[in-house]
Amino acid sequence: GEDVEQSLFLSVREGDSSVINCTYTDSSSTYLYWYKQEPGAGLQLLTYIFSNMDMKQDQRLTVLLNKKDKHLSLRIADTQTGDSAIYFCAERTNSGNTPLVFGKGTRLSVIA
Amino acid sequence: DGGITQSPKYLFRKEGQNVTLSCEQNLNHDAMYWYRQDPGQGLRLIYYSQIVNDFQKGDIAEGYSVSREKKESFPLTVTSAQKNPTAFYLCASSPPRGQWGYTFGSGTRLTVV
């Protein structure tokens, strides 16, 4: 079945770049998403990428997709303390209307 | 403004009692979802509904029930059969297809006392 894997923790210094990685197993993925969750809150959609794209940039966020290796990454430039949160990767497969498959989330800690 | 509202934000329940969590959306989305979140476990799908009067079990449906009588509303009942109900519950909605992903509510934290 489908599976999405992420490392659980990442710690970076303020001002550095953060790179959060995700791997997935379903080769029929159509869209891949990055969500951010702040403490005690719901998930907020940060960005998404269509599976026929290699890269998408949106201000400080850069998404890279390697479809051959089924690897997705989110780069946050000039990381700030407000970026401290849990980041979830999710995939939408081509299998009709099945729900998104989420990773377990990466907790990003930004050290001032 | 369009959005998805969960209520209450905090809920306390005595053991053996059923409790219902509310989820309402005014985004005109067809599909709605309930997830449970425990520390270190990510999101686990409880139930989802793609159209009114229809819903499917997710990965951890035991001890939970839902209804979808209106497009806007997808309440979740945590029954006394759920052995470990203390968790953070998240509701989400989405259009049936396309790139938009899910819109999430702000969550309900349920504590069994």
Residue pLDDT tens, chain B, 113 long:
679 999 999 999 999 899 999 999 999 999 999 999 998 788 999 999 999 999 999 999 999 999 999 999 999 999 999 989 999 999 999 987 777 789 999 999 999 98
**Separation between Cα atoms, residue B47 and residue B76, nearest integer Å:** 9
The CB density around residue B89, as the number of other CB atoms within 10 Å, is: 22
CB contact under 8 A, B33 and A103: no
Q: Which residues of A touch B111 (CB under 8 A)?
A: none
Rounded to the nearest angstrom, the gap between the alpha carbon of residue A54 and the centroid of all alpha carbons in its chain is 14
Residue of A nearest to B91 (CA): A42
Q: For residues A107, A24, B104 and B2, what is the CA-based torsion angle, rounded to 10 degrees?
A: 130
Reference B90, options B46, B51, B59, B30; nearest CA is: B46
| Beta carbons of A2 and A100 less than 8 angstroms apart | no
β strands within chain A, DSSP E: 4-6, 9-13, 18-24, 31-37, 43-50, 55-58, 61-66, 71-76, 85-92, 101-102, 106-111
**Separation between Cα atoms, residue A104 and residue A23, nearest integer Å:** 12
